[in-house]
Amino acid sequence: MSNEPRTLMYRDALNEALVEEMRRDDTVFVMGEGIAERGGSYKVTAGLLAEFGEKRVIDTPLAEASFTGAGIGAALTGMRPIVEILFIDFSLLTLDQVINQAAKLKFMTGGQSSVPFVMRTQGGTGNGVAAQHSQSLEAIFYHIPGLKVVMPSCPHDAKGLLKTAARHNDPVIFIEHKLLYMNEGPVPTDEYLIPFGQGDIKRSGSDVTLIAWSNMIPRSLTAADKLAAEGIDVEVIDPRTLVPLDKELILESVRRTEHVVIVQEAVRRGGVASDIASIIQAEAFDYLDAPIEIVAGLNTQIPFNLTLEAACVPQEDDIIAAVKRAVYA
């Protein structure tokens, strides 16, 4: 079989991963609001009901805590549930189940129990869906021992990482982005998996290390191309998984470029970017020629108005300005 890549949308790459894993393993099933007959609000689960039936593609009530708990219970009995939470904002309703149960049961049973549970959700701004549907909450899950946190930025990574998540024996929080679903990119024909903890250099460069994830990667790559025209060579690193974090990839790049910019869509206060900055400060401080720059969302609610929404999160111009501050400091 040829492994020539095809061009797929992000949502179709996710769909393909689900189909392949459900064909491969009868214990994999999906559940969530509107995912069966409707194929999900973003069409990631389109066609699954017709192939796998209602016992493995389950429409749920609007009761996130309840069906998340059902998924965790199923995982404890040997099944591999992939539970969809329509907006990451609604994952707040599941936190006791996820944090106090799924994340801790392996530890509390001395390794006798495993929880092969995946929560698929999406977050971030876009489309003017306002304060209760636009948050970037990855830092909540990043903070919890026992959880893996995955945030793919392109179709290739989305498929490979979701397949890995479906086979993982510990709980995985798989965070997509509402503005990425229609993005296209190359995806190999043959099967592949992407290991957790393996970041990717999306653009090689020599002047500054720019670390970003999810929808900030396309935005950062566009900014990097514009900066190249001004003679600034930006290396763009996508961790792909925040937990586990590919610390060595980041540190190796920082030691070469000696300048760092970290971009996150989430509000700056208590964010993942600050933790990554602390790692760099502790382990590569002597290599830094300038302070670390963090570009992040404002510490405010996300407005409904599209212009105000855009003003609350990093844009290309914000990234370009931060890179120049870092390089010219």
- Interval 93-119: pLDDT, tens: 999 999 999 999 999 999 999 999 999
- Give pLDDT, residue 1: 47
Alpha-carbon gap, residue 208 to 214, rounded angstroms: 20
DSSP 276-308: HHHHHHHHHGGG-SSPPEEEEE-SSPPPSSHHH
Residue ranges with strand state E in 80-204: 80-85, 118-123, 148-150, 172-177, 184-187, 200-203
Tell me, what's the pLDDT at 4? Answer: 81
> Is 6-187 CATH 1.10.150.120?
no
Give Cβ neighbours of residue 28 (< 8 Å, ≥ 6 apart).
21, 22, 56, 79, 80, 81, 82, 166
Separation of alpha carbons 103 and 160, rounded Å: 23
Does the fold of domain 200-328 match that of domain 6-187? yes
Q: Which amino acid is at 316?
A: E
- The full set of domain ranges for the chain reads 6-187, 200-328
| pLDDT in the model for residue 2 | 58
Catalytic residue at 133? yes
Cβ atoms of 218 and 265 closer than 8 Å: no
Catalytic hit among 133, 156, 168, 259: 133
Query: CA angle 313-179-194, nearest 5°?
Result: 105
- What is the rounded CA–CA span in Å between residue 220 and residue 116? 33
**Identity of residue 282:** A
| 209 phi and psi angles, rounded to 5 deg | -95, 120
CATH topology of domain 200-328: Rossmann fold (3.40.50)
Q: Cα separation of 151 and 221, whole Å? A: 17
Q: Beta strands of 137-259 (E only): which ranges?
A: 148-150, 172-177, 184-187, 200-203, 208-211, 234-238, 241-243
User: According to the model, what pLDDT value does residue 213 have?
Assistant: 98
The pLDDT tens digits along the chain (329 residues) read: 457 889 999 999 999 999 999 999 999 999 999 999 999 999 999 999 999 999 999 999 999 999 999 999 999 999 999 999 999 999 999 999 999 999 999 999 999 999 999 999 999 999 899 999 999 999 999 999 999 999 999 999 999 999 999 999 999 999 999 999 999 999 999 999 999 999 999 999 999 999 999 999 999 999 999 999 999 999 999 999 999 999 999 999 999 999 999 999 999 999 999 999 999 999 999 999 999 999 999 999 999 999 999 999 999 999 999 999 999 97
Cα atoms in the Cβ-side hemisphere of radius 13 Å centred on 274:
12
